[in-house]
Amino acid sequence: MPFIPTTKEEALRRGWRELDVIFVTGDAYIDHPAFGVPLLARWLESRGFRVGIIAQPDWRSREPFMALGRPRLFFAVSAGAMDSMVAHYTPLKKLRHDDAYTPGGRHGSRPNRATIIYTSRLKEAFKDVPVVIGGIEASLRRFAHYDYWEDKVRRSILFDSKADLLVFGMGERPILELAERLRRGDSMAQLADIRGIAYAMRGDVPSGAVELPSCDMVMNDPHRYAEAFRLVSQDMHPDSGKPLVQRHGDRLLVCNPPSAPLSEAELDAVYALPFVRAPHPSYVESIPAYEQIKSSITTHRGCFGGCAFCAITHHQGRFIQSRSERSVVEEVGRMVKMPWFRGSISDVGGPTANMYGLRCGSADGGSRCRRESCLFPSVCRHLVTQDRRASSLLKRVRAMHGVKHVAVSSGIRYDLLERQPEYFGELLAHHVGGLLKVAPEHIADAVTDLMRKPGREAFERFLARFGQESARLGRKQYVVPYLMSGHPGCTLDHMVELAIFLKRHNIRVDQVQDFTPTPGTLATCMYHTGIDPFTKRQVYVARSDREKRLQKSLLLWHQPAERRNVYDALRMCGREESAVELLGKFRGQPESRPVPRDRKRRS
């Protein structure tokens, strides 16, 4: 049985009458290293633990949670690869109709607030078995946090779920130490020194810990919420961070410093585990998320960009953890032998593709650094941006037997590309299928400063260089920018500026992202409080659905269906003079254009 057991029968085929750890996840079980629960399950399995997975159980009763019986050590619960509320609702709080992590893409296979619901059912079924929660939902909700869908501050998910422990960030180190210590007889109360966990206690604040404003304080005072966010961001460092404590009534939430990043050898060992790279055979329908990533290769973890709206830094950390070239090549070699592989690799990258192999060049390796971003407001002088390692990897993978095409579809930091001429050349010559996706998000400096993104000048330099290099190669290639509306600090005037920029650069986008305040990010803190927690300055926030809709429409200025909204937006901010440039002739109604004669004949 090559898969992790999902039923008692599958466990018995391995000779396992009892399991040590049972994972419960809101995603379908896909045995692929891109999915967190299967990866951690394989990791524990490789260390001699008997592991099972309960995937997308029906939460309406406790019976599905009893499918594998009682684990000897603990249950490990994750909502899945996404926060369950983000997975279920649009930025306008409307219900989504699909779920990429479910067979057939169907919506409704996991509950809202899945971590809380799953833990409740497990406690109902097995009152005396410890439950450990983790994954991105638990990780980013570990402190008292603003919840966009209820428009209020909720307490830590550890208290709402009544779980025994919370593992945050990347879980290999803490969950392995947790399992090993429980196996040798330690009690849950003896595990409080494990890095990368949060737990509840009563009594006094532990010596040496940093006390945050209490849950009651952050619920009632935006300034104290901003203060708590700032303290969390500054003190959660894997080398020199201190435990953080937040009072919740008569109890304390204690969050230990993050676990240390994996070394290259450790990361290589994780990706060398015997993944089947396929969904469990019990599924009869395709799973959209698997189809998207099945031929992808993850080269590294972490991101030092520090974008305000992104949770990657808060979950994976800002230290880049790169695999060796040998490890990546060996994984490609295994994938080439898969019966479904036809020669195309969909991605060789990570959270940001061109950060592979990069590191801090300071004497202490960045262990005492308190910068939130290595790239903003400017590239840190200690950052080693040499691109030889990344370009060498692309060349080697491209030359492997059985590989016909290698794409790089992960995000690219174009401001970093200015320092990576070799990688930039490789990318445009061999790994862009005519379209290169980048994420400027905006071009108004007042907005990009709050986003912690490069501004207009950097994007214009990139566009010019991209055009020159594509022309030199004799290739027709285009930039597809990811853009965002509704971010804190963004006004209708800023969106008009962006729309005019797109028109003048002949850039048209068909999909744009409306800002969603997801738990744990800087942008969400600004959205809720109206305050930049680091400068303490007031930040404008577009809150009405109408303004959000108009901001989004300005990015789609070229679409006939949006013309009325675009004109209304221009009028609201006193920019009617821009209507001619954006819309051409406009008299309050979308203009009607005559149908060409040849088209009339064809119809």
Using alpha carbons, select from 42, 40, 135 the residue that is nearest to residue 87: 135
The answer, yes or no, to whether residue 367 has pLDDT greater than 90, is no
Contacts for 62 with CB less than 8 Å, ≥ 6 apart:
121, 124, 125
- Angle at CA of residue 493, ends 488 and 495, nearest 5°: 65
Contacts for 491 with CB less than 8 Å, ≥ 6 apart:
540, 542, 573
pLDDT, one tens digit per residue, over 158-182 is: 999 999 999 999 999 999 999 999 9
Q: How many CB atoms lie within 10 A of CB 455?
A: 20
Return phi, psi of residue 451, to 5°. -75, -15
What integer is the mean pLDDT of 514-540?
96
**Share of residues in the chain with pLDDT > 70 (%):** 96
What integer is the mean pLDDT of 94-120?
95
**Residue 312's pLDDT band (boundaries 50, 70, 90)?**
confident
The number of angstroms, rounded, from the C-alpha of 261 to the middle of its chain's C-alpha atoms is 17
The span from the CA of 121 to the CA of 244, in Å, is 29
Q: Could you give the C-alpha distances from 517 to 138, 141, 274, 356, in angstroms and in order? A: 16, 13, 37, 28
Beta bridge partners of 22: 52, 75
Using alpha carbons, select from 570, 560, 447, 445 the residue that is nearest to residue 499: 570
pTM above 0.85, yes or no: yes
Top-tier CATH class for 435-603? alpha beta
The answer, yes or no, to whether residue 490 has pLDDT greater than 90, is yes
Residue 573 labelled as part of a binding site = no
The answer, yes or no, to whether residue 299 has pLDDT greater than 80, is yes
What integer is the mean pLDDT of 375-392?
92
Q: What is the pLDDT of residue 512?
A: 84
Q: What is the pLDDT of residue 362?
A: 86
The answer, yes or no, to whether residue 92 has pLDDT greater than 90, is no
Q: What is the pLDDT of residue 221?
A: 97
More confident residue, 603 or 41: 41
Residue 215 labelled as part of a binding site = no
The answer, yes or no, to whether residue 602 has pLDDT greater than 50, is no
The answer, yes or no, to whether residue 596 has pLDDT greater than 50, is no
Is residue 512 helix, strand or coil?
coil
The span from the CA of 134 to the CA of 315, in Å, is 11
Q: What is the CATH number of domain 295-431?
A: 3.30.750.210
Residue spans of the domains in the chain: they are 8-255, 295-431, 435-603
**Residue 234's pLDDT band (boundaries 50, 70, 90)?**
confident
What integer is the mean pLDDT of 267-275?
96
What integer is the mean pLDDT of 183-203?
94
**Mean pLDDT rounded to a whole number for the chain:** 92
Using alpha carbons, select from 58, 60, 38 the residue that is nearest to residue 109: 58
Contacts for 602 with CB less than 8 Å, ≥ 6 apart:
none
Q: How many CB atoms lie within 10 A of CB 256?
A: 22
H-helix or E-strand spanning residue 244: strand 244-248
**Residue 235's pLDDT band (boundaries 50, 70, 90)?**
confident
**Residue 590's pLDDT band (boundaries 50, 70, 90)?**
very low
**Residue 236's pLDDT band (boundaries 50, 70, 90)?**
low
- Decide if 473 contacts 425 (C-beta within 8 A): no
The span from the CA of 576 to the CA of 10, in Å, is 67
**Residue 240's pLDDT band (boundaries 50, 70, 90)?**
low
Q: What is the CATH number of domain 8-255?
A: 3.40.50.280
pLDDT, one tens digit per residue, over 414-435 is: 999 999 999 999 999 999 888 8
The span from the CA of 515 to the CA of 499, in Å, is 17
Q: Are domains 295-431 and 435-603 of this chain identical in fold?
A: yes
What integer is the mean pLDDT of 203-212?
92
User: Could you tell me the two tokens for 192?
Assistant: 């409080």
pLDDT, one tens digit per residue, over 439-461 is: 999 999 999 999 999 999 999 99
Residue 307 labelled as part of a binding site = yes
Using alpha carbons, select from 431, 435, 421 the residue that is nearest to residue 397: 431
Query: Residue written as tokens 């992808």?
Result: 296
The answer, yes or no, to whether residue 306 has pLDDT greater than 60, is yes
